[in-house]
A and B are shown apart, each in its own frame.
Chain A
Amino acid sequence: MFAFILRRLAVAVPTLLLLIVFSFVLMSLAPGGPFTGERALPPAVLANLEAQYGLNDPLWLQIWNYLVSIVVHFDFGPSFVYPDRTVNQLIAAGFPVTLTYGGLAFVAAVVVGVALGVAAAIWHNTWLDYLAVGISIGAQVLPNFVMAPLLVLVFTLWYRVLPGGGWSFNDPSFWIMPVIALSTSYMASIARITRSSMLEVLGSNHIRTARAKGMPESRVIIRHALKPAMLPVISYLGPVFVSMITGSVVIDIYFSTGGIGKAFVDSALNRDYAVMMGVTILIGTLTILFNLLVDVLYAWIDPKIRY
Chain B
Amino acid sequence: MVIDQTKMQSLSARLVQDEVKGRSPWADARKRFFRNKAAMFGLTILVLVTLFAALGGQFAAWSGEELDFSVMGRVAELGAPSLANGHYFGTDNLGRDLFARVVQGTQISLMVGIVGAAIAVIVGTLYGATAGYVGGRTDQIMMRAVDILMSIPYMFVLILLLVMFGRSMSMLFLGIGLISWLDMSRIVRGQTLSLKNREFIEAARATGVSSFRIIIRHIVPNLLGVVAVYATLLVPLMILTESFISFLGLGVQEPLTSWGALISEGAGTMNYGTLWQLAFPLFFFVITLFGFFFVGDGLRDALDPKER
Contact = CB atoms under 8 A, between A and B. Distances in A.
Given A149-B267, A157-B270, A265 B153 contact: no
B164 A265 contact: no
B155 A246 contact: yes
Given A15-B152, A141-B290, A27 B264 contact: no
Interface residues of A, number: 47
A167 interface: no
Q: Is the interface of A mostly helix, strand, loop or mixed?
A: helix
A88 interface: no
B280 interface: no
A287 B153 contact: yes
Interface string B263-302: 1101100110001001000100110011001000000000
Interface string B55-79: 0000000000000000000000000
Interface string A16-41: 00110011001101110000000000
Interface in B131-171: 144, 147-148, 151-153, 155-157, 159-166
Per DSSP, chain B at the interface is helix
A304 B119 CA distance: 37
Interface stretch (B190-198, B205-213, B222-230, B242-250): B242-250
A26 B243 contact: no
A140 B151 CA distance: 23
Interface in B89-103: none
B248 A249 contact: yes
B163 to A, nearest CB: 5
Given A140-B289, A249-B248, A280-B153, A145 B148 contact: no
Interface in A261-307: 264-265, 268-269, 271, 273, 276-277, 279-280, 283-284, 287-288, 291
A59 interface: no
Nearest to A276: B160
A30 B152 CA distance: 20
Contacts of A246: 153, 155-156, 244
Nearest to B250: A268
Contacts of B105: none
A101 interface: no
Interface in A142-173: 142-143, 145-146, 148-149, 152-153, 157
A27 B247 contact: no
A149 B270 contact: yes
A245 interface: yes
B114 interface: no
A19 B248 CA distance: 23
A143 to B, nearest CB: 6
A128 to B, nearest CB: 20
Contacts of B163: 268-269, 271, 276
- By CB atoms of chain B within 10 A, which of A31, A254, A265, A268 has the most? A268
B274 to A, nearest CB: 12
A116 interface: no
B248 A253 contact: yes
A283 B153 contact: yes
B263 A146 contact: yes
Given A15-B151, A149-B270, A269-B249, A27 B164 contact: yes
A70 interface: no
A264 B293 CA distance: 31
Q: Residue among A146, A253, A254 with the most chain B CB within 10 A?
A: A146
B164 A30 contact: yes
A264 B278 contact: no
A148 B244 CA distance: 12
Contact of A145 (B147, B160, B263): B263
Contacts of A149: 263, 266-267, 270, 278
A19 B155 contact: no
29 contacts: A12-B151, A14-B148, A15-B151, A15-B152, A29-B164, A30-B165, A31-B166, A141-B290, A145-B243, A145-B260, A145-B264, A146-B282, A148-B267, A152-B267, A152-B270, A153-B275, A157-B270, A242-B153, A246-B155, A250-B244, A250-B247, A253-B248, A264-B156, A265-B248, A268-B250, A269-B163, A271-B163, A276-B159, A277-B160
Given A26-B160, A246-B244, A291-B151, 8 more contacts: A15-B152, A26-B164, A152-B270, A157-B270, A253-B248, A254-B267, A268-B159, A271-B163
